[in-house]
Amino acid sequence: MPHTPQIKIPATYMRGGTSKGVFFRLADLPEKAQTPGPARDNMLLRVIGSPDPYQKQTDGMGGATSSTSKTVILSKSTQPDHDVDYLFGQVSIDKPFVDWSGNCGNLTAAVGAFAINSGFVAKDRIPENGTAVVRIWQANIHKTIIANVPITNGEVQETGDFELDGVTFPAAEVQVEFMDPADGEGSMFPTGNLVDELEVPGVGTLKATMINAGIPTVFINAAEVGYKGSELQDDINSDPKALTMFETIRAYGALKMGLIQNIEEAESRQHTPKVAIVAPPADYTSSSGKKIAAGDIDVLVRALSMGKLHHAMMGTAAVSIATAAAIPGTLVNLAAGGGDRTSVTFGHPSGTLQVGAEAKEVNGQWTATKAIMSRSARILMEGWVRIPGEA
């Protein structure tokens, strides 16, 4: 029986922040995959190596974690005063679906560099030496993001001495600005409250801050679910009961936030919302063995992504943390000591991260104008990915 030969698709494999993904130009995709739908999803699933019941993604480009099971499609921007349209697809590891419901903040740092290298940014806006300001339209959530990309001798500077906990080697710093990060279609706090009583069957009634800034996130106090907030990945990911509990909390949080209409829909919307636990500062040892002192951080945060505790922190969740910390009375703000603040340094499993946000109350409604963080990015490999022609 004859088999269809493989096809090859131009692609670039990039690290952005603490994530990795396969980047495509929209025009380079097979014709059927240039528009949203099953053909595009099936192509990306095959590229990444999903669905994989072994959860290894051995026959694809994925790395068997939520941080490394990501895809990006970029094109010349359709929006005025923007350079590039950025579409992000979170690929499930063991299920046959791609979640398009949110953004990846970490990979945003790589989008700016890819946009410059792909010619999406006008040459007169790229200095010979200095910083290129790349205006990104995040097509999943309809938001503007600014990536400040370092340039040396007219080209993207990828190497440097900026260190990011969760990434082994230093690189060049890319400052990323998330403009108006709150959900433009509704309240930043979908329930109208800074803190809610969230009823979760089988778990209990928990205090929860449910915020939509950067990415929809459900924050709960670590102590309420039996944790300290200083846990590392294995402390949670090796416990099936804990993972089931967090997924149940996430699902009922999604329902309360209005992101889904019935609880069954949560299974097909795994990328959003995120669920995170918060706690006051405490000493702990990071996953790399680095000692983190309570005095060096404002708050402890642990967040789950695609059903597992993240090894560091998702960029979009960092925006959510920064925004919530800036608003007096949220669980994040209270765990950080309360009061007004425009920046926060939080401890995560791999170390620490400082993020800033500007928030204000207008007519009784909180809104965020900007969130800022520093990441790094670099090209790991470029050329073509190959997939069986029938995929």
Q: What is the DSSP code string of 210-256?
A: EEEESEEEEEEEGGGGT--S---HHHHHT-HHHHHHHHHHHHHHHHH
pLDDT score for 391: 46
pLDDT digits (tens, 9 = 90+) for 46-67: 999 999 999 999 999 999 999 9
Q: Is 313 a catalytic residue?
A: no
Enter the pTM of the model.
0.90
- Is residue 377 pLDDT above 90, yes or no? yes
Contacts of 306 (CB under 8 A, 6+ apart): 66, 69, 90, 92, 93, 270, 271
Distance of CA 197 to the CA centre of its chain: 26
User: Domains of the chain (ranges plus CATH)?
Assistant: 6-181+377-388 (3.10.310.10), 196-349 (3.10.310.10)
- Is residue 1 pLDDT above 90, yes or no? no
- Is residue 184 pLDDT above 80, yes or no? no
Pairing outcome for strands 343-348 and 143-152 = unpaired
Query: In this structure, which long-range contacts are made by residues 324-329, counting pairs with CB atoms below 8 Å and at least 24 apart in sequence?
Result: 324/209, 324/211, 324/213, 324/217, 324/219, 325/298, 325/299, 325/357, 326/357, 326/358, 326/359, 326/368, 327/194, 327/359, 327/366, 329/194, 329/195
Q: How confident is the model at residue 3 (pLDDT cuts 50, 70, 90)?
A: confident
How many angstroms separate the most distant Cα atoms in the chain? Answer: 70
Given 43, 61, 104, 257, which residue is catalytic? 104
Distance between CA atoms of residues 138 and 180, nearest Å: 12
Given 14, 210, 314, 373, which residue is catalytic? 314
- Is residue 302 pLDDT above 50, yes or no? yes
Mean pLDDT of the 359-375 span: 90
In this structure, the number of other CB atoms found within 10 A of the CB of residue 273 comes to 27
Q: Is 104 a catalytic residue?
A: yes
Average pLDDT, the chain: 95
Total residue count of the chain as it appears in this document: 391
